[in-house]
Every structure is written in structure tokens, then in C-alpha cells.
Structure 1
């Protein structure tokens, strides 16, 4: 067998050349679990709004690892002690933090698995890989879970200013063309420091943090919660729910072996055994797209129409309001649909539904972003900032939506 060159370099459109730090990282990237991320879209159905948003979780994971390399380099330069073992664990944890995402990133969490988050599935994958890699991932798992004794290492993985957010804001901004989300990751990382085992940002970086938080708010309203992307994801969730309902009633649907398993079984976290892990590792966007292309010709009125809507981008109409949607408004749309197509109310509810969306750019009482002054004083970014609107970003903003069919369906 020919030995592989493990000193690979990735040419990333955001950061330029990304280097692989060691052979363990190389072997994890080469693993089939991680290669699957090439087939998982980073932004779900957002490509139906922003045509360039076809980047994947694979791109994002490598970008996060690159930023983590920069963060470790910066903190060591400032005298923060990070051992070789901790360094490798950080790289592994951030590389694998999203390995548990299902097809189209979030749709599966709300449809064909029962109450399981992608973080929980990521942890299952990491534990599985740890056994395969003879315990090499043990420290990375502790950091990923937030259990490690050195708090700032956990904050680099998951906090309000972590490498995950730093990458996805900049990357998603680039691929969507929404310049409001473009942040200066290099300056943010350069301004990082550690005090009393907690991550802080030096005073000179205060404006970069302000830009980061404002960019996050813009990206959520303008991109992640865009009404067209929102209704498309809701349709995808309901399409999978309908498929699962039909299969549970004995209807045979054409789909891949991996998708079959999750349609046929009630998969909870407790039931997520090795068989489920192996089949989940085979499941990606292409399974769903292939199934939709087949199901658009199915006899079932609901499944057929939901698939056609997504494939042809002929989506439901969506209205977003500041106040909750009145029940009689929803009922009138359901009634009209029942009468027009002679379907049940249960079936009509797949096409007429309400919900809410919320955006809070900064949670002031949860893992605060702290500013370190030259005097040694530490202060939360909201109090440190002279931006009056930064306080407003701490308050959750909730909006309400109703979706219903256009004239034709």
C-alpha cells in the first residue's frame, strides 16, 4: 500500500492556505465520518435565496480549525501556557464539533429523529472515533463537553466569541454575498487573551467585537431567518415528517437504505446504537434530494406537493408579523384548502401553519464577552461599549409567521 502524504495544504477562499497540523488531524479528515461533511450543506435551504450558498460543513470545519491554530499561536505569544496535548485536543474538538449534522444541517433534528440535537450526535461520533483511534480523542471530548478544568479552552470551542461563530459569520457572508456579515477574524483573534482562566478581549479590540455582534444580528435577520429560506426549511421538515407518517402506516417509499432506517424507526438518543451511527454516517443531502425527486410523483397528495414545492422552488406564501398570528386567520386558510382539494384538516395543516422566530445577538448573562483594559480592569462588552444600540442586542426579538399556499398548488 502506498503511504499518503500527510502534509497536505487546503486552499481556502476565505483564509488562503490552511495547513494540517499533524498526522492525527490528517487521519481524522480522511475518515469517512468527516468526509461525509462534504455532502452536508452549511446553510440548509438558503441557496434558494442566495444562489452562492452551496458551501458545506466540510469547508466550515476546516476554517474553524485554521482559526483555532491562529488563536493558539496568539495566546502562546502572550505567555498563555497551552500544552501540546491541549493544542491537539483543541484542533480535534473544533474540527469535529459539527460532525453530527444531518442532511441540510438542521432539518433532520425536527423531523425523523426524536429529540436529538446535532451536538449530541457529534459527541456520539467523537466517542466512536475515540475507540477507533485508541483514546486519542479523550481530552478533546472533555473540552467539547465543557468539562475540562481550563475554562478558556472550552470557551474557544463554545462561547459567544468562539472559533465556530468567527468562521461561520465570515464564511456565510462571503458565500451569500451579504457584506454586512463580514467580520475581521484576524483582528478579533489577535486581541484575545486569558485572565483568571477566562477568555478576554484586549481593549484595542472593542470595536471589532462591536462589529462582530452587529454583524451577527444582521446575518440572522437578513440570511439565517430570511423568510424564503425559513419557509423552504419548514417545508423540508414537513416533507420528512409526512414520509415518516406514511411509512409508519405501511406505505412503502423509495429511498436509500440509510434514509429508510430513520423513516422506519423511532430513533431517540437512547436508541442511537452503533447501527444507527453507521447508517447516519451514510446519510447526507443527496439521500434527501434523491428521495424528493422520486416522491414528487407519489400518490399521496401531501408528500407529492411538498416535494414539488421544494424542487421547483414554488414555495408557500409567508407573512411575518410582530404580533402572534390569530387562530381564526390560520383556520380560514385551512378551511379553504380542505374545501378546494377535498383533503382532511390534518393534511391541510402540512400546508398551513404558524410559528415564531427569535434573534438575540448577545446574551449578557451567559459566557460574557469581557474586555480587558490596560489598567487590568475587566468589563462586559455592553458596559464597555459606547454604542447605544449594543444594549438593545441583549434583548431577544421575537417575530411570528404564518405560511399558506398561493392561489395554485
Structure 2
């Protein structure tokens, strides 16, 4: 069987699958599951074209990794065939641990387990299935390999992941202001002392990259309607778990039911190998399929949130520079009690507060390094004569209030 297939990607054109192992990993059910997980969660409720999946993103990132490695090799950086394959697999599998609706339900289905950790467990399981072929891939993914730039290509403030998702999300949402010149940035990458750097002539491309990222966060990822929908989905799953654990019978897919019945933690994943297998069966369709049953449930909260999400009748939302006070929320909870004829605990599901933050660049830790012409390596914020990069290092936080539109003048 010829496993060197060619895929047609709407963003980059044709993507080549370079070897048999990568083909077999793509064919594995862990990876095929990503076809059923949307890249942007519920953002298609705002931008109807945002229906692309983690599967799209992972393949696109793999192709960008191939281009980046080619560019580095052209500049004389020594990269072995094993390092090339491992790096491409690391970026291909970097999101394999995502649950339904990507980031939205990351801490709702289980307790404080990041998708990167689940992804590591899945890679280890794949490594076992493929007789240790992913040893180096795991080292690169977990930043245990001595040549740090490989990990930085997978996960850093200027990684292949971001280069793909910004361009791809901009394409599918139609928010073209968020598009970036990923090809030029890749051509500007270099390596100094085994650290990933950007050549000085690429500094304006980096500024555009950071500006686009900041814009995409406010206009797409943290769009207020998308935030409202995500808050509602989180509260819906919370309610479903509460009812299930009180003994109320809910119709749900078998995999989802296990996560509703138990408060699963990292320890459970590590001690029970079956948990990971059950998790690998979960995707967006489990949630939507269950919601279609829940819209007819007698519980007011479960029924209302299910109907509202299915019909896109979302909670109103307003942003504020200051935290929302208890006086405001307590008053709205009392109004919600009357509106839905429920008790105070049930009414509190309809009145939610929280905050979102946006920082395009964090000038600490694994920062973006600029390689000057004479060989000095400095932080991009120091190297730039553009004040925008320094300004983008500031974390901006907005506080939100979600409530039924009937109760407030949204």
C-alpha cells in the first residue's frame, strides 16, 4: 500500500505525508478522533465558517514544521532524519489530548487536567503500540531533548502551533486582519546555541504576528458572544454532573456518562488505563447528542440551557473593566428565581461572572529572541524600536457578566 499520500489543504494547498510511520499515526483512531473536535469550539455561533477541526490544524502544523526544518537545514543547521520525523510527529500530535469543544470543557469533564498532559499519555500509549518509535517525539514534546529549539518549534511564544492556528482561524472566520505571513516568519527562523531565534530582518514580521494574535483574541477567541456560549456549555455540563451524581437519570453517550458520574482526576488517568481509552471516545458529537436528549428533561436548568444552545438563544453578556459586585449578581439571581420559577441554587446557573485576559506577548520565560547581525541575541522587546511590542506585553483583563437578556438591558 502506498502510504505517501497527498492531502489538499484549503490554507496551504497540497500537504505530503512523508513516510509510513506518520501515515499510520494519522490513521490511528486517536488522531482520527480530531476530525470530530472543532478547532474553535462554539465560535461558529459568531462566525459561521469556523467549522474547521483540530484534524485540519494538526495536519497544517505538520506541513509548516516540514517547511521550517527545510529552511533551517538550508541555513546549515544539522538536523537528522530521526529529529525531522520526531519533530513532525510532535507537532502533529500536540493537540491529540483535546477534549470536546477544544479548550471550552478542559476543566469541566475532569479535574485540573490540561490537554497537554492527556496528550502526553496518549503519545505514550501510541509509543507502546508502535514499539518505541515515538521515544524521541516524546522527549521533544516534553522538552527533555538536549536540542531545545525542537521543543520551541512545537511550544513557545513563536511556535509552529501559533503560526498555523492564526492563519487558519483567520481564514475560516473571515477575520483577515488576523492573517499572518507565516512563510516569511519561517524563513526568518534560525538557531543559536540550540535555541530558536529570529533573524533581525524579521522583526517587523514578528510585530505583525503579535498584533494579529492580539486582534484575533479580542475579535475571535474572546468575542463576547462566544464567551457567553462557552460559559453556558460549561454550566450545562456542571449541571449534568451534579444531577447525575445525585442519582438523577440522564441520557448520555456511554463515554460521556462515565465522566458525568465520576470526578476524574490526573491520578485516575494514571492508575486506570481504561480511563484514557474511554476519553479517546469523547468528541463534540457526544455533547451535542446528549444535549438533544436533555432539551426535554424535567430539570429547568438542564432543559433551558440545552434549548438555548441548540437554538442559539444565548445569555446576554457585558464586559467591564472592573469586577462585577455581589450586589448586582445577588439582585439578578433573585430576578432569575422568579423568571424561571426555580430556587436560588438553580437560579445561580443563569447569572455568571468571570474574567478573560489577553496578552499577545509575555516578555519573560520562553521569550522571542532576536539574532542581531553581529551575533548578539536579545529579547524582541529590547531589539525593537517599535513601541507596539512593548505595549503588547501588557496583560489586559476584562470582567464579564452573563445573565438572561430579559433581566438586563443588553
Normalised by the size of structure 2, how large is the TM-score? 0.97
Instruction: Establish whether residue 46 from structure 1 lines up as the match of residue 39 from structure 2.
Output: no
- Tell me the equivalent position of 1:112: 109
Which residue number in structure 2 is paired with residue 200 of structure 1? 197
1:296 aligned residue: 295
3-state SS of 2:266 partner: coil
* In structure 1, distance between residues paired with 2:157 and 2:72: 18
Displacement after TM superposition at 1:271 (Å) = 0.3
The number of equivalent residue pairs is 406
Name 1:168's counterpart in structure 2: 165
- For residues 16-35 of structure 1, give each alpha carbon's deviation from its aligned partner in whole angstroms, at most 9, with x where no partner exists: 11001110000000001100
Kindly state the Cα deviation for residue 408 of structure 1 after the two structures are TM-superposed. Answer: 8.0
Aligned equivalent of 1:252: 249
Q: What's the CA shift for 1:5?
A: 2.2
Q: CA RMSD for the aligned pairs?
A: 1.1
Q: Which of 95, 98, 123 lines up with 1:98 in the alignment?
A: 95
Task: Give deviations 1:298-321, integer Å, cap 9, x for gaps.
Answer: 000000001111110000010100
Whether 1:317 and 2:293 are equivalent positions in the alignment is: no
Q: Is the 8 A contact 2:95 2:119 kept in 1?
A: yes
Residue deviations 1:49-82 (CA, integer Å, cap 9, x gap): 0000000000000011000000110111111111
Q: For residue 305 of structure 1, what is the aligned residue in structure 2?
A: 304
1:11 has 2:32 as partner: no
**Distance between the aligned counterparts of 2:363 and 2:265, measured in 1?**
33
Q: Is 1:28 equivalent to 2:35 in the alignment?
A: no
Q: Equivalent residue for 1:366?
A: 365
Q: Provide the rounded CA distance (Å) in 2 between the counterparts of 1:206 and 1:149.
A: 27
- Name the SS of the counterpart of 2:96 in structure 1: coil
Counterpart in the other structure of 1:60:
57
Q: Distance in 2 between matches of 1:294 and 1:349?
A: 23
Q: Among 113, 125, 130, which residue is 2:127 paired with?
A: 130
Secondary structure of 2:267's aligned partner: coil
- Offset of residue 288 of structure 1: 0.6
2:203 paired with 1:210 = no
Q: Structure 1: how far apart are the matches of 2:327 and 2:407? A: 22
SS of the counterpart of 2:252? coil
**What is the CA–CA distance in structure 1 between the aligned matches of 2:185 and 2:385, rounded to whole Å?**
18
Give the 3-state SS of the residue equivalent to 1:349 in structure 2. Answer: helix
TM superposition shift of 1:370: 1.2
Q: Extract unaligned runs of 5+ from structure 2.
A: none
Matched, 1:143 2:140: yes
- 2:156 is matched with which residue? 159
2:265 aligned residue: 268
Give the SS at the match of 1:350.
helix
Distance 2:104 2:394 in 1: 27
Counterpart CA distance in 2 for 1:359 and 1:107 is 16
CA distance in 1 between counterparts of 2:104 and 2:221 reads 13
The answer to whether the aligner puts 1:182 opposite 2:179 as a matched pair is yes
**8 Å contact from structure 2 (residues 335, 407) kept in 1:** no
Provide runs of 4+ in structure 1 moved above 2 Å.
339-342
Aligned to 1:69: 66
Shift of 1:386: 2.2
CA distance in 2, matches of 1:50, 1:260: 31
TM-score of the pair, normalised by structure 1: 0.98
Q: Deviations over 1:101-151 (max 9, x none)?
A: 011102322212111111111011001001000001111111111111111
Give runs of aligned pairs for residues 236-251 of structure 1, distance below 5 A.
Answer: 236-251=233-248
Which deviates more from structure 2 when the two are superposed, residues 388-397 or residues 28-37?
388-397
Partner in structure 2 of residue 338 of structure 1: 337
The range that moved more, 368-377 or 211-220, is: 368-377
SS at structure 1 position matched to 2:399: strand
Distance in 2 (CA, whole Å) between partners of 1:193 and 1:41 is 33
Q: Gaps spanning 5+ residues in structure 1: where?
A: none
1:110 alignment partner, SS class:
coil
